[in-house]
Structure 1
Amino acid sequence: FADGMTKQIFTDMGLTIGYSLLSSLIVSLTVVPAMSSKLLEKVEKKPSILFDRLINLYEKALRWALKHKVIVILPVVVLLVFSVYKIGSMGTSFMPSMDSTEMSATLEMPIGSSKKDTIKMSDKIINNLMKIDDIETIGATDSTNSMLGQASDTTMSFFIKLKEDKKHSNTEIAKIIEERTKDFDCELKVSASNMDMGALAGSGIQVIIKGEDLDELKSMAIDISKEIKPIKGIKEITTGLENPSKETRIIVDKNKAMEYGLTTAQIYQTISNEIKTDTSSTILTIGRNDYPVIVSNGDSLTKNELKNLTITGTKDNEKVDVKISSIVSISDDESLSSISRENQSRYMTVTATIDSDYNVGLVGKEVKSKLDNYKVKDGYSIEIGGEMETISDAMGDLVLMIILAVVFVYLVMVAQFQSLLSPFIVMFTIPLAFTGGLLALLITGNDLSVVSMLGFLVLSGVVVNNGIVFVDYVNQLRATGMSKKEAIIETGRSRIRPILMTALTTILAMSTMALSNGMGAEMTKGLAIVSIGGLAYSTILTLVVIPILYDLMQRKEFKIIDIED
C-alpha cells in the first residue's frame, strides 16, 4: 500500500514474507498433521530438571505479579514513555551507511589552473594516499563537463579500491584521506562508499526558496546560508551564487522614455539588434551536405558605445535622436548561472552537506527550527528538501503502513476470538514490542532508519502470536469451569514452552543478520536489531503483563461448556 521510493524498495520483501507465510500456513494445516500421525506414534516426554525449575520459578513470579499489579505495570509504562520521548532525540536516516571495498573522490583545482597542474596534483595525491595501509589501488580519470560533454582542465575523479581485510571503516578512511590532503592547494571531496543507498534520498539538506524577484531570492539565499552555517554538523553550504558571472543591467526610465514616445520594447529591440553579432541568414545545400550561412555584424558593442547609442523618438511632433544613456540606467551586477522554475515559479536552492560524524535527521531538526524563526516576505516560501524530505515522506508512509497493519491484525483476531475484548488485551503486546525495539536501537547506537521502521512493521504482526496463544488457552480453561486466576496460572505453566520456543527460533534466525559484518550487511541490521529487541522484551513481558491485563479487564464470567456434549 506504500507509494514512491518506499514501495520500490520494499514491495518485493513484503510480498516474499506474505507468500512464504501463506505457504507455511497451508503446510501447517495439512502436511504437518499428516506427518505427525505417522512419525509421532510413540512419543516419550523426557523430564528436564532445569526447565521444570524454570517453570516453578515462573509460577511463583506470576502469582506475585498478579497480587502486585501496580508494581509490575508502572515500570513498563515508564519505559514505554521513555522510549517514545527518546524518538525525538534519536538520529534518523533514510538508509544506513554501508561499508564496501570501493570509494571515490573528486579533485577540484583553483580557477585558472592548467591541465598540467591538475595532473601534477593528481599524482601527488595518489602517491600520498597509497601510503594508507587499507588502500589497495587508485585510478584517476578526467572529469567530464555534463553540459558541454568535454573534459575539464581543473577537475579529476579518483576511484579508490580498498583491501578486503581492511582494518578501518570507509568513514574512518575518508577522514584519514581528508587529513592527509588538507594542506594541499586544492579541494578534494571524498565519498566514503560507492554503495551508499542514502544517495537515493538526495544529498544532505536542501532549502528551496520560491518567489519571482531574482534579487530577493539571492538575498534570501545568502541570509539563510548565514542562519544555518553555525549549526554543528553542517560541513559545506552552497547557494548557487559561487563564482558568478557578470552581467550588464539596463533599466528603462519609463517616464523619460514616454517623453519621446518610446516604449521599453522599442528600446530593447534597438539594443538587441546592436549587440547581436551573428545572425543565421539561410542554409546552402551542396550535394548531400547543408551549410548554414551566418552574417556577422563585426565586433560586439562595448559599454561606452552602448551609452552613446541613439534611438529615434518624437517630441513636439518632431523626430529626434535620443541618447540611450539619457533614458536608461546602466549598471553591472552578478548573474545566476541558470534560472530554475517549478510550477511556473522561480526558485533557488541552498544545499548543506552533513559531516559524517553527525546525523542528518538531528541536524535537519535544527535547520527547521532556524527556518521557523526566519521571516519570509509575502509571495515567497521556504521548503526543506533533499534527504530530509525523503526521510519524512518515507517515515510517514511506514507509520501509515504500521497503523494499517495493526488494524488488520486486530480484525483478524476479532474474527478468531469472536470477541472484541480478548483481541484488545492481546494488542498490548505491540507497544511492548515497540518499546523493546526502540531500546535495542538506543543500546546499539543505531539510527531510526526506514529499514529499522520496517522492523516495527514486521513486529506488529509477529509479537501478537504469543499473546494469542496465552489468551486463547486461558479462555479454553475457563470454559471448562476453572477459575480465572487458576486458569491464568495453568496457562502460564503449560504455554511457557511454546511461547519461548517460537520467540527464540525467530530471535536466533534474526541474530545472523544482526551480527553479520559482510559487505552490505548494514542494509538489514536495523530490521534485525528491532525485531530481536522487540521480540525479547515483549516475550518476557507477555508472560507477566498480559496475564495481569487479562485479570484486570476480563471480568465477565465464562459460560461453561460440557466437554461430553
Structure 2
Amino acid sequence: MIGRVVDFSLRRRGLVFAFVVVLVLAGVRGFTRLPIEAYPDVADTWVQIITQWPGHAAEEIERQITVPIERVMNGVPKKTVVRSTSIGGLSVVTLVFADGTDSYFARQQVSERLDEIELPPGAQRGLGPLASPVGEILRYRLVNCATHRIAACRDEDVAQPPKPLTELKDLEEYVVERELLATDGVADVVSFGGTTKQYQVFVDPILLAAHALTFEDVAKALADANGNAGGGVIALGRAALNVRGVGLLSPEQIGDVMLKNDDVPVRVRQVARVTVGHRPRLGRVSVDGERDVVAAIVLLRKGEQADATLAALHARIDDVNARVLPRGVKIGAYYDRTELMKSTTRTVLQNLVEGMLLITLVLFAFVGNARAAVVAAITIPLALLFAFVCMDAAGIPANLLSIGALDFGMIVDGAIVMVENTFRHVARTQERGERHDLRDVARAASREVARPVVFAMTTIILAYLPIFTLERVEGKLFRPMAWTVAFAILGALVVSITVVPVLTTYLFKARLREWENPLLRWTWAAYRPLLARVLRAPRVVVAVAIALLVTDAVLLARTGSEFLPHLDEGAVWMRATLPSNVSLAEAEALVDGVHTPARDTVGVREILERYPEIRTTAIQLGRPDDGTDPTGFYNAEFLLVLEGRSRWRKELHGKKDELIAAITKDVSVIPGVAFGFSQPIADNVEEALTGVKGQLAVKITGDDLNALDDVADRIARSIQPVAGVVDLTVVRELGQSNVNVEIARDRAERFGLTVAEVEDVIEDGVGGQVVSHVVEGERRHELVVRYAAEHRDDVDALKELLIPRAGGRLVPLAHVADVNVVGGASRIFREDGRRYIAVRFGVRGRDLGSTVEEAQARVAKEVRVPAGYDVEWGGELESARRAGERLALILPVTLVAIFGLLLLAFHRLRDAAVVLSNVLLTSPVGGLAALLATGTSFSVSAGVGFLALFGVAVQTGVVLVARVNESRAEGRSIDDALTEAVRTRLRPIVMMALVATLGLLPAAVSTGIGSDSQKPLAIVVVGGLFSSLALSLAILPPLYKLLARKDGIE
C-alpha cells in the first residue's frame, strides 16, 4: 500500500505539484482565519446567580437568600459543585458543571429553576455574565484630560475643566458601557469605582411628628408624585398631539411635593432635606496615582476569540473617544490582554525560527548538499500549512502552547530518512557510472524506507492520542497541542511519501557526491570497537540497562512535582487582606498612606511606587457595582503591570519570584495586613477551581463559624513553619461588627406597636427606601428616602430613633428594643450545602508536591479536628493529583498501543519488544536528568513531554531494526547484520535525533514571556533524545542479538 503511494506520486508528478499548490493556498487561508489564543479557556462551565439585598447582614443573606437558592439548584442536571458566598447585601451562588457542558444549556437549566425561588421584598437577582474566569481582556478608566493627559487627549481636551466623579460615572454607565457592549464578542462591561448619582431625601422624625406625619407618608407622596403618564392623543388642527404627564425633574420639585393639606399645605422640604448625592460606595479604584477613578472591566463572551474581539474593541474605543464622549474625557486602558498575546507570540515565533534554522544547518552539515537539505526542510512549511487547513476545518484555535510545542525536528524526521536514503542510492549509482532512470532509483530508495518511516511517524501520532483523555484544566490546555502535533505529523507523513520522492527526481539530476561528515566518521571509528564488544557480551549490557532503570527510579524520587508551570503574564496580582470590619476611610489609609500631625502611616501604594520594575499600578478596594466579585473593603487588590526584564535592576536577575520576595519584605512593615501574590489570569482560574482566591487551599467544613475559625487558626499555625509555604492567610469569616436590634414583643405591644411596624422603620428609615426614579433623558437615578444622618449614624442615635404610634405619638426605639453592638460574620462561604472556612497559601522556592506532603503530615499530627468537621485540601493540589492519576493510567496504555503498532509493523514479537525496550531503557533517564539539572519539577507538561518522547524515540529503533531484518534476509549473520545496519543508518539516526533535539532546544532554554508552559515538555524531549541517541546504539544491538538467540535464530 505504502509502496503504491510512492509509485503513484512518481508517475503523476504534475498531480503532486498541483496538490502542493492547493495545499499552500488553503494553508495560507487557514492561517489567516485561525484564531490565536495567548491563554486558552481552561475553566469549567459555570453559572453565577447574583442577588443583591442592600442593608442586610451576611447571616441574614445566607438564611433568606443563599440557602433557598442552593436548595433549588441542587437538582440541576450535570451540576458537579454548588458554591456560595454571602456578604453584607450580596449573595453569589456559583454552579460548576461537568466538563464539556454547554454554557447555554447550563444557563437555561438555572434560569428555569430561578422562578421556583421566592425572595424577600427588595432583593434583586440575576445571572452573572456569560464569561469565563479567563475572560478579563481589558481594563480601562475614564480620564479627565485636564488632570491626567494620555495619548488620546488633544490640546482642546486638556483645556476643558475636569468633570466630577459622579458625572464620569454617569458617562460610564449610560454612554461607554452601551457602546462597548455592542462590540462583537463582549459579554459584559463591569463598572468599578466612582460614585453613582442618587436623589436623596433625608427625613427628620421630629419634624414629621410635629406635623403628624409618618415616614411612609413621605415615601408614598414622593412615589405618587413621580409618575410619567400618557394621556393619549388630541387633535389640534391638522396635527395629532400626544398628551404626556411629566414627573419630578429636580431637587426643588421634590421638595415642593405636598404631603398633606389641612388648610395649610405641608411639603417635603418642611420635614426633610433634599439633595443630590450618591449611593453608598461599594468600591474604589486608583490608577498610577489617580486616587479615585471610574474604571471598568471588559469581559470576553465565553467561546469567543480574544484576538478578534480585542481588535474590534480597540476600534470601538477609538471611535468613542473621537465621536461620542464629551471634550475633555477619554477612555484610557491600563491593562490590555493584547500585550500578553504579543509577548507570548513573539517568544514562540522566536523559538520556532531558531529551531528551524538549527535544523536546516544540521541537515546541510550532515548531508553536505544544499539541495538535499532543501528537500528535507521543505517538509516543515508544508506540514504546518496542512495543520492549519485541518485546524481551520475543525474549528480548533491555535493555542500558543500548541504551536510552541511543535518540534520541527519531529516533523522533518521522516523526510530526513527518505532524502538520505535516496541521496545515498543516487550518489552511489552515479559513482559506479551506471545508466539509470532517476525516478527508478528514487522509487527503489523510497520504497526501501517508506514502511518504517510511516510506522515511526504513526507511532508519534499514537503517542499523542492519550492526551485527549486528560480532563478539565490540563485537558483544555493540552488537547489543542495534541491536535496541532497530530495534524502536523500527518501532513509531514503525506509530504514525505509523496512530495519528497518527486522533488528528489528534479533536484538530484546533477551529479551528487556522497559526503561523509567528519563527525560521523569519527563517531563510527570510535563506536565500531564498542559495538563489537557489546555484541560479545550482551548480558552485561542487560545489566547496564537494569541499572538505568534503577537510575530512573532514583531520579524520579528526587524530582519535585507540581501541577502546571505558570504562564508568565508579565504582571503581578497582589492581594492585601485587611481586618474584616475595616471602613473605606481606614482601608484607603492603609493602601494610600496618611501623613498628618496626628498620624503618619506609610501606604502600600507608596511602597510600590519605589519599584522601577512596575510600569502601572492599579488598586481596587471593595467590589464592583454588579456584585460579580463578592468582597468588601477588607479586600484590596493590586494589578502591577511590569516593565520588560531588560529594565529591571540587576540584583533581581530578571526573576519575578525575586521581585515578589522584595515586595513582600517591604510591605511586611504594615501591621494587620496579610498579602498574597499571583497573576491576573492565574488568580481568576485559581478562584474558579476551588472558590478560594489562592494557589492552594485547606477547606474546613462544618456548621459553627467559631469552631471553624478555631480549627483554621490551628491548621495555619501548623503549616507556617513548612519550607516553601508563602502568602499564608486564614480567610476570616468572623470579625464584622453588627448593630443588633432585638425587638421585645411584649414591650412593643404595650405601646400599641407590632414587630413589623418597628422593623419597617429600621429597614426603610435607617437603611433607606428607593421610592422612585428621577428620569433625566436616557438616564434614571434613584430617589431614596431615609432618616437624616444624625438620627441613624451611631448606636446612641439609633436608640433614640422615634417610632410613630397610633395617635401621632412617638416612642424611642430603646423603649421597645435592645440595641447592642455584637460581633458577626463579614462573609460566609458554603460548598455543597455546608459552611466552610479556608486557609489559603502558595508555594515558592520549592516544589508543590513535597511542600504539601510535609504540610499535610504536620496537620495530621498536630491538629485534632472535632467530630462533624472535615478537612479537605484543594486548589492546584487537587488538580495535580487528578492529572497524576490520569497520567499514571495513560502512560502504560500508550506504551501498550505503541507495542501493538510495532507488532503490526514487524509482525514479530521479538522486534517489537526490542524497539520498545530500547525506548524505555534509554529515553526516560535523559528526560528525568534534564528536569533535575534545570530544577524543573515534574508536571503535567513534563508528563506530556514523556508521551512525545516515547513517540519520537521509537523512530531510532524502527529504522535500525528494519535494516537489520533486511540484512538478515540477505544472508548475513546477526553480528554482521547489526554492524551493517548501524553503519548504513548511523547518519539518518544521528540526524533524526539531532534535529528533533535542536528543534525544541530554543523552547527548552527560553526565558521569554510565554515560554513557561512549554518549557518542561521541551526539557524532557531534549534530554530524553540526547540520552536515547547516546545509549540506543550501545543497547539496542546486543538486546536484539540476545532476543534473537532466544528465538533460536543465529
TM-score by length of 2: 0.43
Paired residue for 2:1001?
511
Paired residue for 1:10?
478
- Distance in 2 between the 1:114 and 1:90 partners? 43
Paired residue for 1:209?
700
Match of 2:847 among 359, 364, 368: 359
Identity score, percent: 25
Q: CA deviation at 1:11?
A: 1.2
- Distance in 2 between the 1:511 and 1:158 partners? 33
Paired residue for 2:718?
227
Given residue 658 of structure 2, which amino acid in structure 1 is its aligned partner?
A: E
Match of 1:175 among 628, 653, 661: 661
- Distance in 2 between the 1:558 and 1:483 partners? 10
Paired residue for 2:736?
245
- Distance in 1 between the 2:714 and 2:578 partners? 28
Q: Does 1:498 align with 2:984?
A: no
Aligned pair count reads: 509
Given residue 643 of structure 2, which amino acid in structure 1 is its aligned partner?
A: L
Change in Cα spacing, 1:243 to 1:498, as seen in structure 2 (3 Å) is same
Match of 1:145 among 597, 601, 623: 623
TM-score by length of 1: 0.77
Paired residue for 1:157?
638
Counterpart contact for 2:619–2:637, Cα < 8 Å = yes
Counterpart contact for 1:96–1:198, Cα < 8 Å = no
Given residue 77 of structure 1, which amino acid in structure 2 is its aligned partner?
A: I
- Distance in 2 between the 1:63 and 1:541 partners? 15
**Secondary structure at 2:926's aligned position in 1?**
helix
Given residue 535 of structure 2, which amino acid in structure 1 is its aligned partner?
A: L
**Secondary structure at 2:1031's aligned position in 1?**
helix
Q: After superposition, where does 1:80-479 map in structure 2 within 5 Å?
A: 80-99=549-568, 101-106=570-575, 111=582, 113=586, 115=588, 118-120=591-593, 126=605, 128-132=607-611, 134-135=612-613, 137-146=615-624, 152=633, 155=636, 157-165=638-646, 166=648, 167=650, 168=653, 169-185=655-671, 187=673, 189=675, 191=677, 193-194=679-680, 200=686, 203-212=694-703, 214=705, 216-241=707-732, 244-245=735-736, 278=762, 335-354=824-843, 356-373=844-861, 379-431=868-920, 432-479=922-969
Given residue 120 of structure 1, which amino acid in structure 2 is its aligned partner?
A: G
Q: Deviations over 1:276-296 (max 9, x none)?
A: 86578x99999999999999x
Q: CA deviation at 1:534?
A: 0.4
Q: CA deviation at 1:272?
A: 9.9
Counterpart contact for 1:340–1:346, Cα < 8 Å = yes
Q: What value does the CA root-mean-square deviation take over the aligned residues?
A: 4.1
Stretch moving more, 185-194 or 462-471: 185-194
Given residue 971 of structure 2, which amino acid in structure 1 is its aligned partner?
A: G
Q: CA deviation at 1:463?
A: 0.6
Counterpart contact for 2:930–2:1023, Cα < 8 Å = yes
Given residue 402 of structure 1, which amino acid in structure 2 is its aligned partner?
A: L
Q: CA deviation at 1:381?
A: 3.2
- Distance in 1 between the 2:930 and 2:991 partners? 21
Q: Deviations over 1:459-506 (max 9, x none)?
A: 121111101112222222222222222222222222211110100011
Q: Deviations over 1:305-345 (max 9, x none)?
A: 9xxxxxxxxxxxxxxxxxxxxxxxxx998644444433334
- Distance in 1 between the 2:759 and 2:772 partners? 29
Counterpart contact for 2:573–2:637, Cα < 8 Å = no
- Distance in 2 between the 1:541 and 1:340 partners? 56
Given residue 157 of structure 1, which amino acid in structure 2 is its aligned partner?
A: F
Paired residue for 1:54?
523
Q: CA deviation at 1:395?
A: 2.7
Paired residue for 1:308?
none
Counterpart contact for 2:702–2:835, Cα < 8 Å = yes
Stretch moving more, 56-65 or 374-383: 374-383
Q: Deviations over 1:198-229 (max 9, x none)?
A: 95566232122334555554443333333323
Paired residue for 2:422?
none
Q: CA deviation at 1:360?
A: 2.3
- Distance in 1 between the 2:680 and 2:829 partners? 29
Paired residue for 1:530?
1020
Paired residue for 2:495?
27
Change in Cα spacing, 1:277 to 1:301, as seen in structure 2 (3 Å) is farther
Counterpart contact for 2:770–2:785, Cα < 8 Å = yes
- Distance in 2 between the 1:163 and 1:56 partners? 50
- Distance in 2 between the 1:465 and 1:75 partners? 22
- Distance in 2 between the 1:215 and 1:243 partners? 8
**Secondary structure at 1:10's aligned position in 2?**
helix
Match of 2:504 among 21, 36, 39: 36
Q: CA deviation at 1:435?
A: 1.6
